[in-house]
Structure 1
Amino acid sequence: MPKRLEDKKVLITGASAGLGERIAYFAVREGAEVILAARREDRLDALKQSIATEFDAKCRTIVLDVSRTDQIEEVFQTAEPVDILVNNAGFGIFETALEASLEDMKAMFEVNVFGLIACTKMVLPHMIRQNSGHIINIASQAGKIATPKSSLYTATKHAVLGYSNSLRMELAETGIHVTTVNPGPIKTDFFKTADKKGDYIRSVGRWMLDPDQVARKIVSIMMTNKREINLPGWMNGVSKLYQLFPTLVERTGRSAFYKK
């Protein structure tokens, strides 16, 4: 019996570790051919070997730095067309607006926003020609709930949500789906960069999401017309409340928001 993603090519950026790695595993289990893209060739090769050993599945790797749009253009010009693009590459640094450096600002926007847009632009022509495809953009609950000490990261995720919402409307008359994934904190290496002091992990560690839970949910909606994935449910409830009563949420939640 054919698996749900049989014959589908799935390209995942930031695939060498964390959520991207777990998405790759679950996509392969559903019969997909995965294309792993990331900067660290050694990690990519190890993951490719692991997938080949465990699943005897097709798997290819691409060494790609999504902060370099010139490299993105070069790589995608020679790459095979894909059915599903998962824009997973991204990072954050938790600092106040005053402390955050312009270099960090530039780097976060290059990876989280410009790289995501460039990768999307590269796969769209083929998807439009075949009138089928799926763009999955990993955003964040930070794109919905602004908090202190994450102004730059929040700004990048607001941008991802805005871009995705516009793109979805542009593609509404096609067979191409656009999904945003808005998770809360996930137990990955993300916080080694974002939270060097470890304050955030100590404060909210018990509420962090299991990366397998998030990856499994993402793969389950591939090639379906799902607008958003929001995890965990209680945090999504807070984001909805924030949209309705921003001043109230900012006042009552300020002390909790500062715990990072």
Structure 2
Amino acid sequence: MLTDKLKGKKIVVTGASKGMGMFTVIHLAKEGAIPVIVARGEQRLGIIRKFIGETFGVECITYVADLSDESERKKLLVELKEKHPDIVGLVNNAGFGSFESLQAASWEKSNKMIQLNVTALIHLTQELLPILEENGGHVINVGSQSGKIATPKAAVYTATKHAVVGFTNSLRMETDRVTVTAVNPGPVATSFFEQADPSGGYEASVKAIMLDPNKIARRMVRTFDTHEREINAPAWMEAASKLYQAAPGVMEKAFRSQFNKK
């Protein structure tokens, strides 16, 4: 337990119906927090709400919304600001990827990725920031190691995650009343790859190094106590990203075969 620090505190989690988002909700509820969870799937949200109530005896508030849709985001934000002015946390977890060359990708899919991974994250943060500043809150933005090291067949996804990393770093310097944490994981064992790589080839090639979403979620929740600047995992991939930034040409040649496994 985080010494009851989160007990009774409302924390918004987007992309909360599966994977890291779902596990984050569970760990928040375990600490006594009141998760305010957002996702597209009403049925999944209902199941999670029931599980949280029965298992931890805490309230779980649900909102059904497609955050890539501006009108739905605006409707959600009105609800959040009017009904939950006591929010102390925002976990921007919603996002998706697609592993295909830029020429092969449809603009519809690329634009939806940009809207969800970047626009929605910035929009929610900007609108809720006054509340979070007043309450001494915490923003956690889920980026990716792809936000630090570029790979082929992921131009748009990589661009969105670079944007998340840059936005998070700038936001941290703009406010001293809100803790800002970036979470940059490598491949995580979630349903992400069902959409990103329907063939299953890339997932199979990185299966041995996949991260446990439950463990990453637990680390994310602990940042409400530790106030960590970043979570980067695995450590060797973070080291590789730093080498890439120092010598991108060398790294691109050295890891060309691995990069092309997508």
TM-score, normalised by the number of residues in structure 1: 0.96
Distance (whole Å) between structure 1 residues aligned to residue 30 and residue 134 of structure 2:
28
Distance (whole Å) between structure 1 residues aligned to residue 170 and residue 71 of structure 2:
24
User: How big is each residue's C-alpha offset from its partner over 1:164-201, in whole Å with a ceiling of 9 and x where there is no partner?
Assistant: 11111111xx2201111000011100000000111101
* 2:32/2:56 contact within 8 Å kept: no
Is 1:74 paired with 2:78?
no
* 2:184/2:233 contact within 8 Å kept: yes
Alignment of 1:1-260 (within 5 A): 3-79=4-80, 80-81=84-85, 82-130=87-135, 132-171=136-175, 174-260=176-262
SS in structure 2 opposite 1:16?
coil
Distance (whole Å) between structure 2 residues aligned to residue 72 and residue 181 of structure 1:
23
* 1:40/1:63 contact within 8 Å kept: yes
SS in structure 1 opposite 2:255?
helix
SS in structure 2 opposite 1:213?
helix
Distance (whole Å) between structure 2 residues aligned to residue 146 and residue 26 of structure 1:
31
Unpaired segments ≥5 residues, structure 2: none
Amino acid at match of 1:67: S
Query: Identity over aligned residues, as a percent?
Result: 46
SS in structure 2 opposite 1:182?
strand
* 1:23/1:218 contact within 8 Å kept: yes
* 1:35/1:59 contact within 8 Å kept: yes
Moved more, 66-75 or 17-26: 66-75
Unpaired segments ≥5 residues, structure 1: none
Moved more, 140-149 or 97-106: 97-106
Distance (whole Å) between structure 2 residues aligned to residue 165 and residue 109 of structure 1:
19
SS in structure 1 opposite 2:224?
coil
SS in structure 2 opposite 1:23?
helix
Q: How many residues align?
A: 257
Amino acid at match of 1:6: K
* 1:84/1:223 contact within 8 Å kept: no
* 1:134/1:223 contact within 8 Å kept: no
